[in-house]
Amino acid sequence: MIEFSKNPIKIEENGILKFVENDNYTASFGYQWNKFQKTQLDRFGNDVYQSSSRLLAETAWVVETLEEANILEVGSGAGRFTRALLENTKANVFSVDYSAAVEVNFENNSVYGTRLHLCQASIYELPYKPQQFDKVICFGVLQHTPDFKRSVRCLAEMVKKGGELVVDFYPVKGWWTKIHAKYIFRPLTKRMSHQSLLALLERNISWLIKLYQIFEAVGIGRVANRFVPICDIKNTLPKGLSEHQLKEWALLDTFDMFSPVHDHPQKIETVKKWMAEAGLKVTFGAFISLEAGQAAVVRAIRT
Ligand SMILES: C[S@@+](CC[C@H](N)C(=O)[O-])C[C@H]1O[C@@H](n2cnc3c(N)ncnc32)[C@H](O)[C@@H]1O
């Protein structure tokens, strides 16, 4: 039995425990995941099994050993990895997000029944007593928190003796990381209303995709596409999407790169150091090749 450390401010009719209100720095994500509820979800019409394969590649878990496990997922968004966890293991999944996206996660994954436990809470005030979870995962979240190091510490606190923490995040690869359209336009776009930003992207996404593809075709994509204000189609989106799917995925990922309040990439070595400082033993820290591109992954255990 997982024990809570505090009482919720509200219990929704669907069973979601709310420990925070919606009006916090993750409001863009609440908006985003409500607009793109099923886009990245495995098994919804597009036969793209990206989330399951990414989960298994990044964790290297032997899923058969997780039957009785309690897994904590922090920053679950619309619940693509929640679904992958529930689908690939028989574990109890405790899934947390700071934004209103928890409602979308419920819509997407309530079919898995009582193994799913959803909370709206912050990584900085997780509502559980320390050191209870066999596994803690946090994918695509840490760079979007205001204090990356403190976030790592808060996650580490949840890992029980013998348990494991696995994170992935936007990496700093070198001095050129921030020389990119994303970081050039973000000071403006993160201040725009979510509605206006999405409408602007919707109006322009088709020609931006074409421009990206032309630059790739003539062999200058690697450099030129850094300055095209669109997500990295070649290295982040699944292969084989239809034209319609490509537009939807590109729209989602481009909104996701321009709207968040926080975007603080980090070096793998630094994250390894922070995990060790948080009392864990680092077991892995490197880039992992995925179906589309690479992920910066760090794993650590509590000995
Ligand atoms: C880019 S999304 C990733 C969602 C999901 N992990 C995925 O990969 O599809 C980042 C998520 O982190 C959540 N997040 C950001 N700061 C958080 C915090 N302090 N506590 C919990 N969740 C947070 C956001 O609300 C958002 O849903």
- Between CA 84 and CA 55 the distance in angstroms is 7
How do residues 18-59 score in pLDDT, each as one tens digit?
999 999 999 999 999 999 999 999 865 555 678 999 999 999
5 within some domain: no
Same domain, yes or no: 83 and 201: no
Which residues 6+ apart lie within 8 Å of 92 measured at CB?
A: 2, 69, 70, 71, 115, 117
The 92-97 sheet, strands edge to edge: 10-11, 17-18, 116-120, 92-97, 70-74, 133-139, 159-169, 294-301, 281-289
91 within some domain: yes
Same domain, yes or no: 83 and 51: yes
Give the model's pLDDT for residue 95. Answer: 98
Domain with 244, as residue range(s), is 181-258
Give the model's pLDDT for residue 44. Answer: 52
Residues framing ligand 1 (Cβ under 6 A): 26, 29, 74-77, 80-81, 96-99, 101, 122-124, 139-141, 144-145, 256
Tell me which of 226, 242, 258 is where a domain ends. 258
Which residues 6+ apart lie within 8 Å of 10 measured at CB?
A: 17, 18
Same domain, yes or no: 193 and 87: no
Which atom of ligand 1 is least distant from the CA of 78? 9
Which residues 6+ apart lie within 8 Å of 177 measured at CB?
A: 171, 265
Same domain, yes or no: 137 and 32: yes
How confident is residue 156, by pLDDT bands cut at 50, 70 and 90?
A: very high
Same domain, yes or no: 237 and 141: no
CA of 94 to the centre of ligand 1 (A): 14
4 within some domain: no
Span 88-98, average pLDDT:
97
Looking at the predicted structure, is the pLDDT value of residue 257 above 90? yes
| Crossing angle of helices 101-109 and 27-35, rounded to 10° | 30
Same domain, yes or no: 254 and 279: no
3 within some domain: no
φ/ψ of residue 93, rounded to 5: -115, 120
Q: Tell me the sheet residues that pair with 120.
A: 18, 97
How confident is residue 239, by pLDDT bands cut at 50, 70 and 90?
A: confident
172: left (phi over 0), alpha (psi -120 to 50) or beta: beta
Domains identified in the chain, total number: 2
Same domain, yes or no: 271 and 251: no
Same domain, yes or no: 141 and 197: no
Same domain, yes or no: 16 and 111: yes
2 within some domain: no
Span 245-250, average pLDDT:
96
CA of 31 to the centre of ligand 1 (A): 12
278 within some domain: yes
CATH of the domain at 286: 3.40.50.150
Q: Which of 267, 260, 296 is nearest to 185 (CA)?
A: 260
Same domain, yes or no: 42 and 188: no
Residue 131 half-sphere exposure toward CB, CA atoms < 13 A: 9
44 within some domain: yes
Same domain, yes or no: 187 and 168: no
CA of 141 to the centre of ligand 1 (A): 5
Same domain, yes or no: 145 and 65: yes
